[in-house]
Amino acid sequence: MDIIDHNRVEKIFGNYIRYEGNVTKFTWIIFLGLILEDLFSRVYIAKQSLQPSLIAVQLLLYVLLVGVSLMKLRSIKNESQKLKTYYKVAKIVEVVMTVTLISTVYHSVFFYFVALLPLAFISLSRGFKRAVPYILLSWFVQALSQYFVSLWLNTIPLPSMFSDFFFFSLTITIQYLLFSLFCYVWGTVHSEYSRSEEENNILIERLGDKYVQLEQAKKEIQNHYDKMRETNNQLEETNRRLTSSLAEFYTLQQISQAISSIFDMNELLKFVNDVIIGVMGVYHSTIALCHGPQNKLKVQVSSIFDKKELAIVSDYINSEVLKPSTHDGHSMIDNAVNPEDYPFTQGRNIQSMICVPLLAKGNTLGIVLIEHSMKDAFDNDNVRLLEIISQQVSIAIENARLYQQMHDLATLDGLTGAYNRLYFQDNLQIEYKKAQEKGYDLSLMIFDIDHFKKFNDTNGHLFGDLVLKSISNYIMKTLRKEDILARYGGEEFVILMPHTTLEQAQEKAEDLREGISRLTITDRVISASVTISIGVSVFPDAASTPQQLIKSSDDALYEAKHAGRNRVCVAPPKMKNENVG
């Protein structure tokens, strides 16, 4: 509280000093007017002659007054540490100069208030008690100076307004008492103002304390809010990661189920491609696999339906820009695709892409290419998820290839590439039941190479193997997808042809016989040609059971051989067989 009071007093005193300069300058003007008024009154009203000595004294007092005032103002500006001391001394000297100058004028009794106005300002700004010493000093100096001035003027001689000194002193005293009462009133105003300001300062202090408390509370609330916000952000990030993990887990679960249940490569890749489109939310997805000794990429499945666009992708899928994935096994991401850099994107408005290799045992099996029509569509999380999917797909591809190899070992003849006898027997039963249930023809050809044993002994077994492979390759190129070529034993082959009548099978057999007879088989040392004999039968016209179908075809082959070889013989209808029997 002491600090507040001291600051309040210093503030009031500072405000008074700030206005003191204006009051002082205004006083200079008033006293200059008083000197001129005194000169006018003595010459024109009192009809006195000009007295240079009086005028000189008045001007001297005026100059001294101005000088003291300037020193006071300068001391206020330059001596801030000794402000009160300089002010008191200068104020005392100023009061003495002021009342003395007023005492020299003809109508001095009417102008005492001029000396008392600054003292009233002190009462108003600093309190009545601070103004009392100056009032007493002014009264004493006024009475004393008036007495000496009157004595001095009488010696000139120069009469003054009042010749009775007692009456003049009484008048001064009464005026000072009245003015003291006036200053007391102003001092009361000052006291009320000081009390009000003190209460305001106390209130401000309390408000300041409340403000500090509110600021502290605000900081605590802000810190609490920041912590809650940070916690909420962490929860949102955790929730996002959990959602992403669940989506990844679900995706991998779906792919794992597909791997364990889908063994057909194309069907598996189509399923995976659909999963990638759904999970990644992409514009297009394409899976390309490596083929041939140079591991050239070939589009296996794609979501691109436009044939021209798909042809462009197929033509440029082996471009240099994808070598980091195809050759080095690195993933690629580009969120600002330039069609000039990626020729396979031409004409499709692709803005973002990711290319991830399909790797198995350090070898590149192919790539997964996803594309989007928006810029900045992908991030590193998308790359990571696609890499995880690609790992699963690579395992699936490897498993499918191993399954295919095992299937080939179990169903294919190792020398010719045709199906083996066991596979043929199983499929004969299956196709027979289908033909029987649906009522369509099922034809069977049995053929062997004419004089193959002699041919084999003459040219060697290796060349004989070449003959068997060459004939098998030629026939497989001419058959339909549903036809089955199998090596029945030695140089003997069978061809099972669903949905084929006896006439159609006979026509096909003639084409095969003629085509093989025109083949030239060579190993760059030996060149030779061979012929075949073919027996043809059909269900249900020539056979009623699978066994009868094989026997009737074999009988027709036997007939072709006895008829001179290099020919086709057809099994007779069942009615004729029964009549002959």
Looking at the domain assignment, is residue 228 inside a domain? no
Looking at the domain assignment, is residue 129 inside a domain? yes
- For the chain, what's the residue count? 581
Judged by phi (left if over 0) then psi (alpha if -120 to 50, else beta), residue 379 lies in beta
Angstrom distances, CA of residue 107 to CA of 110, 179, 488:
6, 18, 159
Please name which of 97, 89, 90, 119 lies closest in space to residue 28, comparing C-alpha atoms. 97
Model pLDDT, residue 487: 92
Residue 326 shares a structural domain with residue 449: no
Residue 164 shares a structural domain with residue 269: no
Please report which helix (H) or strand (E) contains residue 352, including its range: strand 352-360
- Residue 295, domain CATH: 3.30.450.40
Looking at the domain assignment, is residue 249 inside a domain? no
Residue 486 shares a structural domain with residue 358: no
Dihedral sign (CA 330, 333, 337, 338): negative
Domain final position from 368, 403, 438: 403
Residue 383 shares a structural domain with residue 522: no
Residue 58 shares a structural domain with residue 195: yes
User: Over 60: is that where the pLDDT of 97 sits?
Assistant: yes
Please name which of 232, 130, 260, 115 lies closest in space to residue 179, comparing C-alpha atoms. 115
Bigger pLDDT: 206 vs 245? 206
Bigger pLDDT: 329 vs 47? 329
Model pLDDT, residue 175: 73
Please, are residues 85 and 15 in contact by the beta-carbon 8 Å criterion? no
Find the catalytic residue in 79, 199, 491, 559: 491
Task: Return the structure tokens found at 213.
Answer: 């408390």
Residue 466 shares a structural domain with residue 565: yes
Please, are residues 263 and 403 in contact by the beta-carbon 8 Å criterion? yes
In the chain, % of residues over pLDDT 90: 24
Looking at the domain assignment, is residue 363 inside a domain? yes
| Cβ within 8 Å of residue 552, ≥6 positions away | 537, 542, 543, 571, 577
Bigger pLDDT: 284 vs 294? 284
CA neighbours closer than 13 Å in the CB half-sphere of residue 44: 6
Residue by residue, DSSP assigns 538-573 as EETTT-SSHHHHHHHHHHHHHHHHHTTSSSEEEPPP
Looking at the domain assignment, is residue 468 inside a domain? yes
Please, are residues 99 and 145 in contact by the beta-carbon 8 Å criterion? yes
Residue 516: which pLDDT band, with cuts at 50, 70 and 90? very high
Q: Can you tell me whether residue 299 is helix, strand or coil?
A: strand
Residue 368 shares a structural domain with residue 458: no
pLDDT in tens, 228-284: 888 888 888 777 666 666 666 666 676 666 666 666 778 878 888 888 887 777 888
Please, are residues 326 and 297 in contact by the beta-carbon 8 Å criterion? yes
Looking at the domain assignment, is residue 329 inside a domain? yes
Residue 487 shares a structural domain with residue 372: no
State how many domains the chain has. 3
User: Over 80: is that where the pLDDT of 579 sits?
Assistant: no
- Residue 451, domain CATH: 3.30.70.270
Looking at the domain assignment, is residue 541 inside a domain? yes
Taking each helix axis from N to C terminus, what angle separates 380-411 and 165-261, rounded to the nearest 10 degrees?
0
User: Over 60: is that where the pLDDT of 576 sits?
Assistant: no
Work out the mean pLDDT of the chain and round it to a whole number. Answer: 80
Q: Known catalytic residue: 491?
A: yes
Q: Which residue has the tokens 């887990």?
A: 249
Residue 69 shares a structural domain with residue 116: yes
Residue 275 shares a structural domain with residue 293: yes
Q: How far apart are CA 500 and CA 505, in angstroms?
A: 6
Please, are residues 333 and 345 in contact by the beta-carbon 8 Å criterion? no
Model pLDDT, residue 13: 46
Looking at the domain assignment, is residue 86 inside a domain? yes
Q: Which residue has the tokens 């024109």?
A: 44
DSSP state of 49: P
Domain that holds residue 154: 2-211
Domain final position from 211, 238, 270: 211
Residue 200 shares a structural domain with residue 334: no
Residue 389 shares a structural domain with residue 461: no
Domain final position from 180, 211, 242: 211
Give the best-scoring range by mean pLDDT among 192-206, 244-258, 551-565.
551-565
Q: How far apart are CA 1 and CA 6, in angstroms?
A: 9
User: Over 80: is that where the pLDDT of 493 sits?
Assistant: yes
